[in-house]
Copies of this chain bind each other. A is one copy, B any other.
Amino acid sequence: MAQESPTFSPLYRQIKSLILQALEAGEWRPGQSIPSEQELAMRFSVSQGTVRKAIDEMAAENLLVRRQGKGTFVASHSDPRAMFRFLRLVPDDDSIPQRESIPLECWRAKAGHEASRILAIEPGAPIMIVRRLLRFATTPVVVDEIYLPGEVFNGLTLEVLQSWRSSLYSLFESRFGLRMIRADEKIRAVAADKSTAEILDVAEGTPLLSVERVTYTYGDRPVEWRRGLYLTEAHYYHNELN
């Protein structure tokens, strides 16, 4: 008969979005622990099991990290376990390489049509463009061109990038308070242009993986658009299908 709840949302999802709000508001910082399940249950006046289910989902989405006996922590790109979480390039011998990010350029620009559409900002709005090289041990393997909304990344310079000894996303997190939650990648095969070929030390025309990534923060807000060119002669992009 009567449609009771056209937008029925279970209690644990409401709790989840409350925790999300707190997270977004910066109530707990990346790497820090959030209150215990008991405390949260009291705070929201629900049972511990309901809080638990909310946290379960958020842990599955890599927003939180549970550690038995210790507590629940806000996920962080500064955590060694998650440092290159989004980089799927692996050496052919499946070793874990020493990665090194080498910033090449960093300049201001105005958002063109495509950048404004993808980053959901006004055309002509300020953006930052970063070019950088990624090396595995001493081998150059990836050239990235990264587009960032200038609004958010105010104060980003080549010097800042060069003085940072860790992953880009951990810099974004620490310096700009931006937490990268998830990303979408579009992968294609392309031929290396001259300048990329030089940087990667291969012949012009060498087939490369073009990896176009849009990265999102809380609320599915896009905050990074990057295009990486991956050299796959001694490495491969690894993907697991379920």
Interface residues of A (CB under 8 A from B): 60-62, 85-86, 88, 182-191, 205, 207-209, 212-213, 230, 232, 236-242
Q: Quick check: B237 and A85 within 8 Å, CB to CB?
A: no
If A190-B207, A207-B190, A207-B207 touch, whether A185 touches B232 (CB-CB below 8 Å) is no
- Residues on B with beta carbons closer than 8 Å to the beta carbon of A205: 205
Tell me the complex Cα distance, A211–B60, Å: 27
Q: Which of A189, A191, A230 has the most CB of B within 10 A?
A: A189
The interface residues of chain A, by DSSP majority, are classed as strand
Distance to closest chain B CB from A144 (angstroms)? 15
If A207-B207, A242-B61 touch, whether A189 touches B186 (CB-CB below 8 Å) is no
Distance to closest chain B CB from A222 (angstroms)? 14
Q: Which of A60, A182, A236, A240 has the most CB of B within 10 A?
A: A236
Q: Which of A85, A88, A182, A207 has the most CB of B within 10 A?
A: A207
Kindly identify which residue among B189, B209, B241 contacts A184, using a CB–CB cutoff of 8 Å: B241
Q: Quick check: A239 and B185 within 8 Å, CB to CB?
A: yes
Copies of this chain held together in the complex = 2
Excluding A187-B238, A189-B230, A205-B205, 4 further A-B contacts by CB distance (< 8 Å) are A85-B241, A183-B241, A187-B209, A213-B241
- Residues on B with beta carbons closer than 8 Å to the beta carbon of A232: 187-189
The 9 closest A-B pairs by CB, nearest first: A189-B207, A188-B232, A187-B237, A189-B189, A186-B236, A207-B207, A183-B241, A185-B239, A189-B209
- Residues on B with beta carbons closer than 8 Å to the beta carbon of A88: 239, 241
Distance to closest chain B CB from A214 (angstroms)? 10
Distance to closest chain B CB from A197 (angstroms)? 13
Tell me the complex Cα distance, A238–B237, Å: 13
Q: Quick check: A239 and B207 within 8 Å, CB to CB?
A: no
- Residues on B with beta carbons closer than 8 Å to the beta carbon of A185: 238-241
- Residues on B with beta carbons closer than 8 Å to the beta carbon of A208: 189, 207
